[in-house]
Structure formats: structure tokens, C-alpha cells
A and B are shown apart, each in its own frame.
Chain A
Amino acid sequence: MSKAQADNALPIDFCDLIVINIFPNNGETLVIDQPPRDISPNLRTEVHSIRCGKALSELLSGLILNHYDLASTTVTGIPMKEEQNANSSANYDVEIFHHANAHSESFKSDIMEGPNKVRKTMTLKWCTPRGNPQDMYNCTAVYRVTPVDINSRPSSCLINFLLGGRSVLLEMPRRSGGKTNSHLLSAHGGEIFIHTLATGRSVLEDPPSISEGFGGRVTDYRVADFAQLIQVNKVIPLKLCTNQKSILPIIKMKNRLDRLTKYWPITISSTFLFNIRQYVDPLPALICKDELTSEEVTTCRQVIYSLAALESKNEPLVASLPLIRGKPPKREEQFKMMWTELEKMVRAHCRTDAHNKILYTVMELRSKDPDKSDRIELDDALRELDAVPVEPIARATVIRATTDSPMSPPPVTKCVSIPSKLAGPSRQGTMYSGPKSILDIWLNVVESEDKTIKEKRPDFYGRRNGGNFAVLYPKRAKEDTRDEPMVE
């Protein structure tokens, strides 16, 4: 072998071998079909055994659909004059092949016919073209077409019609019952193409109504509130800061959005708190802030206290937005819903001591569960609050609005954050002088619950032996020290 020949040789990396065993129409064969199988890493074989004649042609046109990723469309209802009788006309069908992607839009609907004979075909109805053939259509894809039966009269009529410069719109029946023009057949430069038309919404149209989005027909989205959320989270392009240490703006923004939407009911019917804004504002807005000033904490607590006052006065909460379904809930339920939601929201935003204080206030006022034996009347709490000296200077403006009511907030400076384990001993002393405060009762409840849990469940092994701190992977640490001398 010469060098030139070796240079021209190209090893076969992969081969798809299809063996078709044919036999005369009146004959029989012992050869059975074999599905595709890899007989070596780079040779796939399949065997078809088939009668010669029409079946062979059908087999090959079936294979070509797979090999070249083609799909079939049957244009139905083509009006044609009868060959014998020019006065009458009949409707004919023509089947065409084209790339399967031309159907990609339509596969979403279920108009594909089942495995009728040999292959699936999509039946689309001929629409006699009207108007200007130069009309522009919003077309998403274009593929060449070829008739399956090239020699049939309907095929050649359709082809000649199209080559003559006219276009045919194809109509797809819709599941909902209507019809839509889904494809267009048209010739360009002597070749015929199928054009997939955009059947969905065009970007030029108005956006769909928000109620028609995913999740069904939801009609009570909190659209106005969402718009507000968008407004306060607008992003503008910034020059990228080269400082490696700073967090990327996008990360910051993601964190912010994540925080703002930690508690954000999507529909009006899924929230009660946001429908009684006249009672809770400005708490929802303030609680989302990164940092809270003491004035803001006071404002929030005032809101919470005024809600508690309403409850104690047996006054119903009037929703500013009517709830969509059903009767308005009973008064007790209203408050239960409100407290649950308020706690959920405040808890979700708990990030600083100031936030903790607000949560703490909510917990304080919420703990009045009628089932609990150590229940304390709200009036007691109010009396207790009254006993606290009113803040002298800084909060004058805030307090002026509420000084007339018995709901004056306790001075923030005297409040402690929710005590943690580390702040253990300080918990023993009450924050207010005199009898037990609601906080003490609450903490007692928590403590007793803690105890019962601990009794039920053995403590974590590491904590039992090593005090508050347990060494992780002690065995591994030993191994490491053992390894060191070997390295040296």
C-alpha cells in the first residue's frame, strides 16, 4: 500500500448497519426482525424482514423519519377538479415530509394522529388563500418539504400550485374547538417550504392578564402590593467594583429579595394581615428594613399594642379589602388569624436585636391562650405598662398620639432582647418590678416545655460528656496527629 493511500484512509468511527431481508410477496421467510443492538462499541445493527413491494417502500420511508428526524403532515381537504369530469371537484389529501421541528409548536396539543398505518402524521386543513400573497406572517421556523407520494396527481397539483407563487395556509383544529392557522406552505426560489406560524401570543401584543397565568385562573393576586415590591427593588446598572472583598451587587440584591419575600402571601385570600392594613401599617414596611431605629421599634410596638387593645375591647377588625370567598370570619377567628400571621411575618424578618424586640412584643401579647391556666388578663398587662415611666424626650412625638390611651408603649431602652442561653442568669430578674409579667409567664412556659422535651429525649451524646462543646471527629484528629511524624 502506498503512502498516499494510507493518507486517504479514514477509519470508520461508527457504523449503523441496517439489513433488510426481502422475499417475494407470495413467499415466506425464516428470518425475523431484530431491533437495533450494538454488537460492538462502534457497530449498531438491525434487521428487518419484509415482503417486497409496497411494504418495502413503507419500511424505508419509516426509517428515513427516524434517521433524519422528519415528521409527516397530511394536508387535507385540497379542492381539486376531477380528472375525468372537469365540472365537479373533490377534496384530496397530500402527505408531505419535513423536519420534525416544524411540528414542535403543535406537539403541545394532541392533534397528532395515532399510529395509523406506518407512521404518525399531523393532519392540517387546507385554507384557500385569500388576500395578498405577500402578507407577512409571524413565522418561527422554516423547513423544506417534499411530498411522500411524488407521482400522485394531488401531490403534483399541490406542488404546481405552490411553485406558481401562491401560498397555502394550513389550519389546525384546537382542543378548545376553534381553529388556528398554524402553518404556511410557500415556495421560495423554486423550493417549497413549510413555515411554522406563531400560534401563541406575539411579543407585539399586550401581555396577558395576570389572572391567566400559570396556576389557573387566580383573580386575587396582590397586584398593587407586588407593584410596590417591584418599585422598591429596582436595579440600575453599576460599574463593577473591583474590590474583591465586597459582595457582588447581584448577590446583595438576591439576598435582599430573598429577605423581602420571606413572608409574602401571593393572593389576597391567602392573607388576612395585609387586608387590614389600616391597623397594621407601617409595621410591614418597617419590619423589612435591615436596621431599625428605636423610634421605628416603638412605632411597631405601638401597632401591636393597639391591635391587642382592639381585641380586648371586642372590636372586630374590618378588612379594607373584602375577602373573596365565604363569610367574614368571626371576631375570635379574626384575631387568631391576625396574631398567627403577624408572628409568622415578624419571625421571618427577625435579624437584629431591634427586630427581636418586636417579635418579643408579639409573643408577649399572643401568649394569652384561654386554655392555659396561668393566663393573665390583658388589663393586667396594660396596668403594668402604665406603671412604666413614660419616656421623657426623644419619643415625644410618637407618644403624643398614644398618651391618652392606656396603651402607651414601654420604654424601649428598658426592654431586653429575647434572652438567649448565654444571657441565662439575667433572665431570673424580671424586667418590670412587681408581680410576674407576661414575659416571665411566657418564659416559664418555654422553660417547662424545654424540660419536658429534655426528659423525653436523651441529650446529644457529645453534650452529655463534654459540657457545652463537643469535639467533632475526635478519632480523625487523633489520626492526623499520628500521621504527622511520618511526614517528617
Chain B
Amino acid sequence: MDLCNHKTVFVIDHSPYFGISSEDPMEFEQTRGRSPNVGPTVTITKSLWTSSLEAAIEYSRIVWDLFPEGKLIRFIASDCMGHHFNTWDLNQQNIQHVLNGSLLLGPPPPPAHPHTSKDFSVMHGLRAAIDVLALYTDEQLKFKKSGGKVLNYCRVICITSTIDNESMNSLQEIYLLVRIYLNSSFIFLKPLFRH
């Protein structure tokens, strides 16, 4: 288990579905300056995307707080393609960088117009995750250069939404197939899913 901690990739669904409300209302009281008068309460809800990203960022905050070195986390948002928020570079292993990445990407796109044939899937993100997990981190490269055999253990945490168990199982199986395919062929540039 510990071996997997060196490389973690969060793959978060960024499909239009994740733009919907999480229906977990938060109430805010409006205060005006120092006056004790309390204004009307305002209720807001976060989207599935925001909640997921926040939970993932909280996870990385704890990891980075407790382990300043050697625990690398990457963020990938997945809609019609994988969007990388950061790299394995130590300069990009911080919350600010990840938040900036999410800011550039913005909220999930609106539901696809029936005529546009965009394929939204978390598989794009998982595919991208396998690609980046197959890259050396600085630490692994250093170890390789010193003549060690690098054991590439890693973890993928995927936050998505599927319809039923069947599609969940097929998602796992596809992931396995993709990984075996990529591991054996080492072809990273050729897209697996062509649409």
C-alpha cells in the first residue's frame, strides 16, 4: 500500500453531468459590517464538480502537509479529453497550482447539443492517467540512474458517476485493458479511442 503513495492521480469527471447541483445546501448569513442586524440567509449549493475537486484538494492538502517530499499527486479533469492541472514537477505539486489549473479550465461544459458529436467520458482522463503514470518522476529517474530497478507502483482515484454496476465493472475492465495495452506496446502517442 505504501509503495503506491509515491504517485497518485486524481481523475475527476468534468462532463456536463458534473455541472449539476450536489443538492447539499449551505446557508450563509448576511451581515452588514459590525451591526448585529442579520440579513436574510442565502442558500447556495455546489456543483458535483466543485464538491469533487474540493474533496480531492483536501486529500492532497493533508498529504502535502504531512509528507513534504516524495508524495506526488496529479489532477486530471476528463470531459471530451483529459485536462492536466499539474505535472510531476515539484514546483507544480501544490494546491495553488492545481486551483489555477481548474480556474483556467472552468466549470463543466453545458450539456452537449444533440448535433455536436462530442464524446464526454471519464475514460479520456483514465487514459491520460495511465500515460502520465508511465512517466518517470524525478525521484524515480534518480533511482534509475543510480542503477536501481524502479518499481512503478501507483494509485488512481477516479471520481465519476455511472448508471449502474455493470457500467462500473466495464469501466474497470476497460481501464485494465488500456493499461495492459499501453504497458505492452509502449505506444503513448497513438490515441486508443478514436471518434
A interface residue numbers (CB < 8 A to B): 1, 5-6, 8-27, 30-32, 34, 39-40, 43, 45, 47, 51-54, 56-57, 59-61, 63-64, 66-70, 97-99, 143-146, 148, 150
State whether A17 and B168 are in contact (beta carbons under 8 Å apart), knowing that A24-B20, A67-B155 are contacts in the complex: no
- Cross-chain contact A146 with B133 (CB below 8 angstroms): no
Q: Mark the stretch among B77-85, B98-106, B157-165 that contacts chain A.
A: B157-165
Our pick among B2, B135, B156 for the contact of A10 (Cβ within 8 Å) is B135
Q: A51 to B23: give the CA distance in the assembly, Å.
A: 10
**A-B contacts, 8 listed (Cβ < 8 Å):** A1-B186, A11-B152, A15-B156, A22-B48, A22-B160, A23-B161, A52-B52, A68-B63
Shortest Cβ gap from A239 to chain B (Å):
40
Binary flags per residue of B150-178, CB closer than 8 Å to A gives 1, else 0: 11111111111111110010011101100
| Closest chain B residue to A55, Cβ basis | B24
A69–B2 CA distance with the chains assembled, in angstroms: 8
What is the bound-complex CA distance between A8 and B46, given in angstroms?
Answer: 40
Query: Which one of B48, B51, B172 lies within 8 Å of A19 (CB-CB)?
Result: B172
| A22/B52 contact (C-beta < 8 A), A13-B151, A146-B66 known | yes
Residue of A at shortest CB range from B126? Answer: A17
The B1-25 residues at the A interface (CB cut-off 8 A) are 1-5, 20-24
A11 to B187, CA, bound (A): 11
In the complex, the answer to whether A16 meets B189 with C-beta atoms within 8 Å is no
CA of A222 to CA of B110, assembled, Å:
86
Contact: B189 with A1, CB < 8 Å?
yes
Q: Is A61 touching B62 in the complex (CB atoms < 8 A)?
A: yes
Top 7 A-B residue pairs of the complex, sorted by shortest distance between their CB atoms: A53-B24, A146-B65, A52-B22, A25-B23, A30-B164, A16-B155, A24-B23
**Least CB distance, A219 to chain B, in whole angstroms:** 47
In the assembled complex, the CB of A36 is this many whole angstroms from the nearest CB of chain B, namely 10
Query: How many residues on chain B are close to A (CB under 8 Å)?
Result: 62
- Let me know if B188 and A9 touch, CB within 8 A: yes
- Contact partner of A1 (CB less than 8 A), chosen from B155, B159, B187, is B187
Q: Given the complex, which residues of A lie within 8 Å of B151, measured CB to CB?
A: 13-14
Determine whether the beta carbon of A67 is less than 8 Å from that of B5: yes
Contacts of A21 in B (CB 8 A): 160-162, 168
Asked if B97 is an interface residue, CB under 8 A from chain A, the answer is no
Please state if A13 and B156 are interface contacts (CB–CB under 8 Å).
no
Given the complex of chains A and B, what is the CA–CA distance between A411 and B63 in angstroms?
Answer: 85
What 0/1 pattern do residues 18 to 35 of B give for CB contact below 8 A with A? 001111100000000000
Q: Decide: A30 and B163 in contact? CB cutoff 8 A.
A: yes
In the assembled complex, the CB of B172 is this many whole angstroms from the nearest CB of chain A, namely: 5
Q: A12-B134, A52-B51 given as contacts; is B176 within 8 A of A43 (CB)?
A: yes
Given the interface contacts A24-B20, A68-B67, does A18 sit within 8 Å of B161 by beta carbon?
A: no
Shortest B62–chain A CB gap in Å is 6
Q: Are A9 and B134 in contact, with the CB atoms below 8 A?
A: yes
Q: Which of A60, A61, A67 contacts B1 (CB 8 A)?
A: A67
A17 touches B55 (CB 8 A): no
- A150 contacts which chain B residues (CB < 8 A)? 58, 61
Expressed in whole angstroms, the Cα–Cα distance for A17 and B1 within the complex equals 12
Given known A1-B187, A19-B172, A26-B23, contact A14–B153 (CB-CB < 8 A): yes
Which B residues between 82 and 129 are near A, CB-CB below 8 angstroms? none
Are the C-beta atoms of A12 and B56 separated by less than 8 Å? no
Min CB distance A312 to B, Å, is 75
> Contacts of A24 on B, CB cut-off 8 Å?
20-23, 48
Kindly identify which residue among B22, B56, B152 contacts A53, using a CB–CB cutoff of 8 Å. B22
Cα(A53)–Cα(B45), bound, Å: 9
Tell me, yes or no, whether B138 is within 8 Å of chain A by CB.
no
A32 touches B165 (CB 8 A): yes
Q: Is the CB of A25 within 8 A of B59?
A: no
Q: How far is the CB of B23 from chain A (nearest CB, A)?
A: 4
CB distance from B70 to the nearest CB of A (A): 11
Closest to B24 in A: A53
Contacts of A98 in B (CB 8 A): 66
Q: Which of B24, B62, B161, B183 contacts A64 (CB 8 A)?
A: B62
A63 to B55, CA, bound (A): 12
Question: Given that A43-B176, A67-B155, A68-B66 are known contacts, is A54 also in contact with B24, CB under 8 Å in the complex?
Answer: yes
* Residue pair B186, A20 in contact (C-beta under 8 Å): no
B175 to chain A, nearest CB (A): 6
Closest approach, in angstroms, between the C-beta of B98 and any C-beta of chain A? 15
Given known contacts A67-B5, A68-B67, A146-B62, is B168 in contact with A19 (CB within 8 Å)?
yes
Given A9-B135, A30-B165, A67-B155, 9 other A-B contacts at CB below 8 A?
Answer: A12-B134, A14-B153, A15-B154, A15-B155, A20-B158, A25-B22, A43-B175, A52-B52, A67-B1
Least CB separation from A65: chain B residue: B62
- Judging by beta carbons under 8 Å apart, are B152 and A12 in contact? yes
CA distance A10 to B55 in the complex (A): 29
What chain A residues lie within 8 Å of B188 (beta carbons)?
A: 1, 5, 9
Please report the C-alpha to C-alpha distance between residue A19 and residue B52 in the assembled complex, in whole angstroms.
12
- Identify which of A16, A59, A97 contacts B4 (C-beta below 8 A): A16
Residues in A with CB closer than 8 Å to B51 are: 22, 52-53, 56
User: Can you list, as one digit per residue, whether each of B38-75 has a CB less than 8 Å from chain A (1) or not (0)?
Assistant: 00000000101001101110110111011110010000
Q: A19 near B160 (CB under 8 angstroms)?
A: yes
Q: Which residues of B contact A12 (CB under 8 A)?
A: 130, 133-134, 152, 154, 179, 183
* CA A20 to CA B130, docked complex, whole Å: 18
Contact: A39 with B56, CB < 8 Å? no
Q: Shortest CB–CB separation between residue A368 and chain B, in angstroms?
A: 71
Give Cα A31 to B136, complex, Å.
35
Shortest CB distance B182–A (Å): 8
